[in-house]
Structure 1
Amino acid sequence: MKVLKFHGSSLGDLRAFSHAARREAGYQLDRVQNGLAPNDWKPMPTIGIGVQEIRIRDEAGAFRVIYVAKFANAVHVRHCFQKKTQKTSAADLDLASKRYANLARELGR
């Protein structure tokens, strides 16, 4: 099982999700840690190679967890946020992209 590594404010942001969304995010991240795909996800190649987004919806709204699991040692959670509009905001995409670039530099890739 891979370990979870949260980057930047992603852990605090995840903790700000509604209770139901937080539980669902934990369940989906556990699936990823164990080599399984989340139940509802999509690739995010505009952020980086291997980046994926877990999509969560509950009565409080739509929530997203952007992560990378392609590295052997860990699942790297790049960004967690609640969506306010139909389209993911440029600010959320930019932040996830910057965190991905920082990770690539840290890992020497």
Structure 2
Amino acid sequence: MKPLKFIGSSLDDLREMPTAVRHAVGIELMAIQYGAEPSDFKPMKEVGAGAYEIRYRDTSGAFRVIYVAKFVDAVYVLHAFQKKTQKTAKADIDLAAKRYKLIGDKP
């Protein structure tokens, strides 16, 4: 199982989400740690190679977690946020891309 590593404020942002959302996203992240795919995700090429977005929706809104699992040492959680519009905001993509660069090149 790969450990989770949270970049920037992603852990705090995740903790601010409603309990049911945190629980559902936590299960998805655990599946990723064990090498499985989340139930609803899409590639985020705009963020970087190997970046994906977990998509979760419930009665309180649409939530997203952008992560990278291609590295051997860990699953990196780059950004966690609630979507306010149909399209992912450029600011959210840019923040995740900036945090992706903080990881650096891993073997």
Q: TM-score range by the shorter chain?
A: over 0.9
Listed one character per residue, the Cα deviations across residues 26-76 of structure 1 (whole Å, up to 9, x for unaligned) are 000000000000000000011100000000111110000000000011000
Matched, 1:24 2:12: no
Runs (4+) of structure 1 exceeding 3 A deviation are none
d(CA) in 2 for partners of 1:86 and 1:78? Answer: 20
- Which consecutive residues of structure 2, in runs of 5 or more, have no partner in the other structure? none
For 2:85, the aligned partner's letter is T
TM-score (norm 2): 0.96
**Paired residues, number:** 107
Contact 2:71-2:106 within 8 A present in 1 as well = no
RMSD value, Cα: 1.1
Hey, what's the Cα distance between the residues in 1 that align with 2:64 and 2:49? 18
Is the CA contact (8 Å cut-off) linking 2:33 and 2:75 kept in structure 1?
Answer: yes
Work out the CA distance in 2 between the residues paired with 1:45 and 1:91: 15
Identity of aligned residues (%): 57
